[in-house]
Chains A and B, each alone.
Chain A
């Protein structure tokens, strides 16, 4: 028993610090009920821990650690500036749009729209020079001739003063 007590007392601090293995812990727990000396020693260790911990906990409650925040703020100020993409993203808060769940359907929709709209986009529209220059024309008493030449870039509007007798 004495040898056993001697070996247990060596393990007691490890047991108290919760560093003992399962086997060692089992050994200590079997020994403690039958050994008053070891039991008292363990009780003493626990009281000692309480005596040390109480004032430390009390001091921690009152302490706000301002120097920690100062250090964090200084770190943020000195930190790397955000890139323009990060600024834009934070400004517009586009991060959800950059997720795959959103942009994959968006890209797919854009491709479909482009395919649908491509005939309209690539359809040749006549330029102004190709279209008629005369929007409308009105003459109550005269015959009017309109002649347009794209090559010469000229539009002729000609009034014939004498009415055609067959039309009057």
Chain B
């Protein structure tokens, strides 16, 4: 005589939504989000004139101890939605320098980017960096007119 409604199959069928929900909750943290919001600021630093844009206070304070630039000017301020393996290129308006940013790895709050700086179709820098909350990566040095160009890259979490 079989007892109805208490067998393993019945219990399994009854709990299918619960099982699916549990699996989703377990697997959700391991599923990478599709995009990473990144802020890219293109800055020209020079010793011609003085002063800096108020939005560049953080960059000025970070670079002040390393370099003696008197002027910081914001050329571009871009919000980039980076997708995996889909490089985004940004050119400086006043020169022939291009930065290409490619999201190559995505782990929780630590996206990894491959950054290429190209001048006149020649790659002058290739680096892989990992962004973390609150951290800014500054890439600078290439000459741009009377100053140098600086890229400030940070992720928005």
Residues of A within 8 A of B (CB): 69, 73, 76, 82, 87, 90-91, 128-129, 133-142, 144, 147, 149, 152-161
Contacts and interface: CB of A to CB of B under 8 A. Distances in A.
Nearest to A73: B1
A135 B141 contact: no
Contacts of B3: 76
Interface stretch (B34-42, B49-57, B72-80, B125-133): B125-133
Contacts of A139: 124-126
Contact of A157 (B123, B127, B143): B127
Given A138-B125, A139-B125, A157 B11 contact: no
Contacts of A142: 124-125, 141
A158 B127 contact: no
Nearest to A156: B138
Determine which residue in A91, A139, A154 has the highest number of CB atoms from chain B within 10 A of its CB, and name it.
A154
A133 B131 contact: yes
B124 to A, nearest CB: 6
B150 to A, nearest CB: 9
A156 B129 contact: no
Nearest to A143: B141
B11 A156 contact: no
Q: Which 10 interchain pairs have the tightest Cβ spacing?
A: A159-B141, A135-B128, A137-B127, A154-B62, A138-B126, A153-B135, A157-B139, A156-B138, A158-B141, A128-B132
Given A133-B131, A138-B127, A161-B142, 15 more contacts: A73-B1, A90-B6, A90-B8, A91-B12, A128-B132, A134-B128, A135-B129, A136-B128, A137-B125, A152-B62, A154-B62, A155-B135, A155-B138, A156-B140, A157-B138
B100 interface: no
B124 A133 contact: no
Nearest to B151: A157
Determine which residue in A82, A128, A147, A161 has the highest number of CB atoms from chain B within 10 A of its CB, and name it.
A128
B8 to A, nearest CB: 5
Contacts of A76: 3
B71 interface: no
25 contacts: A87-B6, A91-B8, A128-B109, A129-B133, A129-B134, A133-B129, A134-B127, A135-B128, A136-B128, A138-B126, A138-B127, A139-B126, A140-B123, A142-B125, A147-B66, A149-B62, A154-B138, A155-B129, A156-B62, A156-B66, A156-B138, A157-B129, A159-B117, A159-B140, A159-B141
